[in-house]
Structure 1
Amino acid sequence: MTVVFKLIPTTQKYDWGKIGLSSKVAEYAASCKLPGFTLDEKAPYAELWMGTHHTSPSRLLDSPSQEKLSDYLAAHPELIGKRVIERFRSEGAAEGNLPFLFKVLAIGKALSIQTHPDKEMAQRLHKERPDVYKDANHKPEMALALTPFQAMCGFLPLPRIADYIVDTPEFAALIPQAIREQFLSVASSDDPTGPLEKKALKDLFTAVMTAQESVFEPELERLVGRYENGDSKASEKEVVDLVLRLHSQFPGDIGVFCAFILNHLVMEPGEAIFLAAGEPHAYVSGDIVECMATSDNVIRAGLTPKLRDVPNLVAGLTYNSAQSSKHLVQPRTFDSATHSILYDPPIPEFSVVRVALPAGETEVHPPIDGPSIAIVTAGKGSIAWGSSEKLELSEGDVLFVGAGHEVRLAAGGEGELAIHRAFVEAR
């Protein structure tokens, strides 16, 4: 039985992906000579999937039949680990399924205004619409920037939304007067997550997202025209570029108005955000690694040509308003490793380690009591385990590390070796 081995991930082409080698997805697939991959320099490469999700499962690179990772793990459950199998049996761990899905995303065009359901809602949606919601699991997720990255996530603080209602007439026009007055009356509350405050935010968001085209389209046209003419108030300066960008990509879409409701984050490589179930968000631009519970459930409401499910989206949100910093994940040192930092969101399904190993340096990762998937995001080097086993690594390589095995990483002599490693432990 092999305990560390390379995988064949899968690539996904979606309209919002980056084109050709401008996409990290295509760059990694081309760099590691991914079997079956032929670069189309005009195609939008959006996602690289690494895991056991049935929609697009990874396979073993050195298996003659390119065996599915889930089949190999089902035959060798010790690679997942007894405690992880017992903890995540309901998610299929006993059948070789990992409780997390690891991805690379390359975002050239904004993703939809969306959220992900909690487990109870996911089970209901899967039962009602299995053609749309294809599994019964929740999907908390973490995004870690590989390049400069922009996203909208979580509701703005209530006073900030109130400023837009007062200063941006095109936005205010979408909200019935009674709802506007109700919201403005609680916007300065000392308890922004109180029941009255949450109801006011829910009513406002629902009113915007269900506004009739005959109402919001002329208001959006006026708003865009005003911004294009350089006419914006001081309170609007931070959303002008975002509004114009979203409108250029999705002309006449109600989702553009979410710029006045959701936090706008601009992040640098190495920064990460966590999005729990029920948090509205939309990734805007950049390349990221993303880890999530094993699910593909997405509820959409704007900025998309795909199915919109506004009733379920507005019903499933938490309506917690806060500064954008609430969503940032603060990394910390990973065990005693000098060049590895840990991003550990408040859920049991996954954590991610980011390795940045200078040329010629080595790093030891102690045994993890659960399985890992790692991708080399820059450079060359090697990974060793046991008494003498070793694999050479280069950019784009994806590998699996079995539970309970120490690994030794070494960077080549010409540049930094960067690795992102997702794992799960039953704690």
Structure 2
Amino acid sequence: MTQTAVFRLQAKTQSYDWGKLGDVSKVALYAKQSGQSVDATKPYAEFWMGTHPNAPSVVMDDAQTPLKDLIHQYPELSTKKIYDQYNGDLPFLFKILSIRKALSIQAHPDKTLGARLFKEFPNVYKDPNHKPEMAIALTPFEALRGFRPLEEIEEHIQRYPELNELIGDDVAQTFTSTIQEQQDDIEKNKAALKSVFSALMHSPQEQVTKQLSKLTDRLENKDKEDPMAELVLRLNQQYPGGDIGVFAVLLLNYVTMEPGQAMFLGANEPHAYLSGDCVECMAASDNVVRAGLTPKFKDVDILVEMLTYRYGSAESQKMTPQSFGLHSLLYDPPIDEFSVALTTLKSGEEEEHKEIPGPSILIVTNGNGNMRAQGSSYPLEEGYVYFVGANVELSAETSNESGLEFYRAFTVPT
């Protein structure tokens, strides 16, 4: 590649009610590094890095060139194959999330369902694509992810009579007998789990409000150190008025992650982020089917039908990264659109990234240092974002005792 293939970007922020406020938000902290002003009273929820039209990144040059325009001018930055396959866009949207209160319980459709929803309800579902995504914790992070082991769900039905009231004795008894008698029949177990989830999510609002009031009143008088009681009470406080999503946490895994831990959210898997800061990468889509912990439109029927109803432990929801150089880890989900590398350097350390045959975006999440590519040097400061074109070898080193941490999202042609 003869022309420059490394460009510093200004990424845009998104302000949603659930975001952290002002300087408490890593989103706001990173945005300030590219000259954006921050309002201490405003929630800064997401930091978008990519070509998505809702918040496209721009090159920090005199013309403030949109990244998509740059790629259109020089398709080789993306490679011809990726450029053609994704119509000149990047295949992924890279984000930082700063979460003050829970996001909605949701799932993302696969490509077949996404295309059908876009065709039938274009005002709600804005594109025909799927939206697999991956979250890597920057700070201690909480989420709901996938269905709990069936034995835990059975225990919750017994422990929380309010849950049993909503799903009904018949559904509860059928579920219990099925998982006890059909332990090895995964499909029958999934069908029984679907019946429980469907009955819960279709509960009349009047009954949800009544049973949730009973549940929270009872938990208020119990041991506040009980993690489930604390979670139920916290979510009810965040979404008062009888949100069915508060009950859904009794069926879904409560997952906690430390910095560097990750989870991949494939199509048709229920999840909700609860608190913390994370790096997120996803296919460039905005398709979301919601059913709880939200004032937005809920599509309960579609959500109930679309889920896989896989079940397992909270720990099983996490990814295992692979080695990616001396000081880097690779998070490589089973999809084509993206992978993410995390590089962590201590004082005096250096890392080389061999040529990646596709486009990438890099964000510095901690510390500072320098990056070398194509014979030039680029400063790395917390919050700096760079686009790196295809087939560019780079190296990074720390500049002082603070160390250096950066994430790099990329796509390779398939």
Give the TM-score category using the shorter length.
Answer: over 0.9
1:312 corresponds, among 293, 296, 302, to 302
Amino acid at match of 1:420: Y
CA-to-aligned-CA distance 1:206-237 (integer Å, 9 cap, x gap): 111110122111111111111110169xxx94
2:286 to 296, 304, 316: 296
Match of 2:260 in 1: 270
CA distance in 1, matches of 2:45, 2:330: 25
Counterpart Cα distance in 2 of 1:150 and 1:389: 40
Counterpart residue number, 1:105: 97
Report the Cα offset of residue 259 of structure 1: 1.4
Query: 1:177: how far off?
Result: 2.4
Supply the distance in 2 between the matched residues of 1:187 and 1:237 (Cα, whole angstroms).
Answer: 26
Give the counterpart of 1:394 among 354, 366, 381.
Answer: 381
Deviations 1:292-320 (A, max 9, x none): 11111111111111111111111211111
Matches within 5 A, 1:130-279: 130-188=122-180, 189-191=182-184, 193-194=186-187, 196-230=188-222, 237-251=226-240, 252-279=242-269
- 2: distance between equivalents of 1:302 and 1:40? 29
Task: Give how far 1:167 is off.
Answer: 1.7
TM-score by length of 1: 0.93
Match of 1:17 in 2: 19
Change (3 A) 1:41 1:392: same
Determine the structure 2 residue equivalent to 1:405: 392
Q: Secondary structure at the match of 1:15?
A: coil
Per-residue deviation at 1:96? 2.0
- After superposition, the C-alpha distances for 1:255-292 in whole angstroms (9 at most, x for unaligned) are 10011100001110010001100000110000000001
Q: CA RMSD in A?
A: 1.5
Structure 2 vs 1, CA of residues 100 and 269 (structure 1 numbering), >3 Å: closer, same or farther? same
Distance 1:275 1:264 in 2: 14
Contact 1:243/1:256 (CA < 8 Å) preserved in 2? yes
One-letter amino acid of the counterpart of residue 160, structure 2:
T
8 Å contact kept, 2:140–2:277: yes
Aligned partners of 2:5 and 2:272: how far apart in 1? 37
Residue 6 of structure 1, aligned match among 5, 8, 12 = 8
Query: 1:355 matched to which residue of 2?
Result: 343
Q: Structure 1 CA distance, aligned partners of 2:249 and 2:264?
A: 19
CA distance in 2 between partners of 1:226 and 1:192 (Å) = 36
Identity %: 50
Q: Which runs of 5+ in 1 are unaligned?
A: none
Q: 1:52 aligned to 2:54?
A: no
What is the distance in 2 between the residues matched to 1:83 and 1:364?
A: 26
The Cα of 1:179 is off from its aligned counterpart by 1.5
Aligned-partner SS, 2:167? coil
CA contact (8 A) 2:83 2:89 kept: no
Contact 1:154 1:263 in 2 (8 A): yes
Q: Which residue among 318, 321, 327 is the counterpart of 1:339? A: 327
3-state DSSP of counterpart to 1:399:
strand
Provide the C-alpha distance between the structure 2 equivalents of 1:126 and 1:283, rounded to a whole number of angstroms: 25
- Aligned pair partner of 1:114 in 106, 115, 127: 106
| Residue aligned with 2:101, SS | coil
State how many pairs are aligned: 410
**SS state at 2:195 partner:** helix
**SS of residue paired to 1:183:** helix
TM, length-normalised to structure 2: 0.96
Q: Note the alpha carbon deviations across 1:82-120, whole angstroms, 9 max, x for none.
A: 34346xx1xx2xx32111110000000000010100001
Distance in 2 of aligned mates of 1:198 and 1:191: 11
Equivalent residue letter for 2:42:
A
Off by >3 Å, runs of 4+ in structure 1: 82-86
Is the contact between residue 192 and residue 320 of structure 1 (CA under 8 Å) also seen in structure 2?
no
Deviation at 1:241, TM superposition (A): 1.1
Q: Of 371, 375, 379, which aligns to 1:383?
A: 371
Q: CA deviation at 1:426?
A: 2.3
Q: Deviations over 1:142-183 (max 9, x none)?
A: 000000000001011111101111121011110122211221
The letter of the residue matching 1:409 is: A
Q: Distance in 2 between matches of 1:85 and 1:38?
A: 34
Aligned equivalent of 2:408:
421
Structure 2 Cα separation of the partners of residues 145 and 192 of structure 1 = 35
Once residues 4 and 231 of structure 1 are traced to their aligned partners in structure 2, the CA distance between those partners, rounded to angstroms, is 55
Q: Which moved more, 1:220-229 or 1:236-245?
A: 236-245
Unpaired runs of at least 5, structure 2: none
